[in-house]
C-alpha cells in the first residue's frame, strides 16, 4: 500500500463523511419544528459537511492552484455562513416567526415589541 492509495482512501472517507453530514442537514431541515432550529441545521452540519467535501477534493487533486481555490471557498464559507444565519435569525425574530414554547430563554425579550406603527418610522437596519 503506497502513499497515493492511502491519501486517496482518506479523501474517499472525507467525501463520504461530508455526504452523510449533508444528509443529516437535509433530514434536520425537514424534521425540525421551527425556523431557528432549522437554521441550526443549515449552518453547523452543512458547513462541516462542505468543508469535509472540500478537504476530500484537496486530498485528491494535490496541486497548489486547486488547493488554493478550495481553501478560498472553505474560508469564505466559514466567514459568510454565520453572517447569513445572523441576518435570517434577526429577520425571523423581528417578524416573530418563532415558536415561543420552544425557547429556553429569550435574551431580547426585555426590548419593547416592535409594533407596526413604530416599524414604519424607524429605519429597518
Partner 1 sequence: MLTVVAVAVTAVLAISAGLALIRLIRGPSVLDRVVAMDVLLAIVLSGIATEAAYSRDGSALPVLVVLSILGFTGSVSVARFATRDGQK
Residues near partner 1 (CB under 8 A) are 8, 11-12, 15-16, 18-20, 22-23, 25-27, 29-30, 35, 38-39, 41-42, 46-47, 49-50, 53-54, 56-57, 59-61, 63, 65-66, 69-70, 72-73, 76-77, 80-81, 83-84, 87-88, 90-92, 95, 97, 116
Q: How far is CA 76 from the centre of its chain?
A: 12
In contact, 34 and 92? CB cutoff 8 Å: no
Residue placing its CB nearer to partner 1 in the complex, 95 or 106? 95
In contact, 53 and 18? CB cutoff 8 Å: yes
Q: How far is CA 111 from the centre of its chain?
A: 28
Phi, psi values for residue 61, rounded to 5°: -80, -45
Least Å from the CB of residue 35 to partner 1: 6
Least Å from the CB of residue 6 to partner 1: 13
Amino acid at each position: 500500500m503506497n502513499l497515493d492509495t492511502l491519501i486517496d482512501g482518506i479523501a474517499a472517507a472525507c467525501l463520504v463523511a461530508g455526504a452523510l453530514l449533508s444528509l443529516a442537514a437535509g433530514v434536520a431541515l425537514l424534521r425540525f419544528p421551527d425556523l431557528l432550529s432549522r437554521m441550526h441545521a443549515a449552518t453547523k452540519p452543512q458547513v462541516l459537511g462542505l468543508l469535509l467535501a472540500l478537504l476530500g477534493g484537496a486530498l485528491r487533486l494535490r496541486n497548489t492552484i486547486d488547493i488554493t481555490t478550495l481553501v478560498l471557498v472553505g474560508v469564505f464559507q466559514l466567514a459568510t455562513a454565520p453572517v447569513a444565519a445572523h441576518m435570517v435569525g434577526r429577520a425571523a425574530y423581528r417578524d416573530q416567526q418563532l415558536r415561543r414554547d420552544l425557547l429556553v430563554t429569550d435574551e431580547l425579550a426585555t426590548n419593547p415589541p416592535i409594533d407596526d406603527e413604530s416599524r414604519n418610522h424607524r429605519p429597518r437596519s
